[in-house]
């Protein structure tokens, strides 16, 4: 599973100058089979109607699952790429932060499947995503 010595700060450092930092996504917690990241709900992630853009929620979800897969494979011989993501937006957020908790639900040799729940600061469900990662040889 996810290495015990992997820290959120490491993920935040390697994410510099990417979409992750453009959306102000910050990794906050890592466990044996989960990763949590937060993203602000503000002018960087709003849609024109003044609420969290669904695409920003999906980007947050894919960021969490992709990073998870990257760190549970041998990255010297393999790499992970997202091949499918499905998201249901079930709530709205207008301010504060949303938190994505990604848990691996299938750990195969060639595919990983992640379930990612995006919730607001009060624990209200905003989006539910399922991400399929393909594991490829370098």
User: Look-up: residue for tokens 């960087």?
Assistant: 44
Q: Quick check: 14 pLDDT over 90?
A: no
Q: Which domains does the chain have, with CATH numbers?
A: 8-137 (3.10.129.10)
Token couple for 60:
């947050």
pLDDT of residue 42: 97
Just list the catalytic residues.
62
Give the bridge partners for 118, in sequence order. Answer: 100, 127
How do 111-120 and 26-30 pair as beta strands? Answer: unpaired
| Closest to 52 measured CA to CA, from 15, 23, 17 | 23
| Pairwise pLDDT comparison (1 vs 113), residue with the higher score | 113
pLDDT of residue 2: 81
DSSP, collapsed to helix, strand or coil, labels residue 8 as helix
pLDDT in tens, 86-117: 999 999 999 999 999 999 999 999 999 999 99
| Stretch 17-27: mean pLDDT | 95
Token couple for 114:
């992640």
pLDDT in tens, 68-77: 999 999 999 9
Task: Report the alpha-carbon distance of residue 120 to residue 125 in Å, rounded.
Answer: 7
pLDDT of residue 61: 98
Q: Band of the pLDDT at 20, cuts 50, 70, 90?
A: very high
Q: Band of the pLDDT at 52, cuts 50, 70, 90?
A: very high
């Amino acid at each position: 599973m996810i290495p015990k010595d992997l820290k959120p700060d490491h993920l935040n450092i390697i994410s510099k100058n990417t979409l992750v930092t453009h959306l102000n996504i910050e990794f906050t917690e890592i466990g044996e089979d989960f990763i949590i990241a937060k993203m602000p709900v503000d002018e960087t992630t709003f849609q024109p109607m003044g609420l969290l853009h669904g695409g920003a929620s999906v980007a947050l979800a894919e960021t969490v699952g992709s990073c998870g897969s990257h760190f549970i494979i041998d990255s010297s011989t393999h790499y992970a790429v997202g091949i499918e993501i499905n998201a249901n937006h079930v709530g709205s957020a207008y301010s504060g932060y949303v938190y994505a908790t990604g848990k691996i639900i299938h750990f195969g040799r060639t595919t990983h499947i992640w379930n990612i729940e995006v919730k607001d600061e009060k624990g209200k469900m905003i989006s539910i995503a399922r991400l399929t990662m393909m594991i490829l040889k370098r």
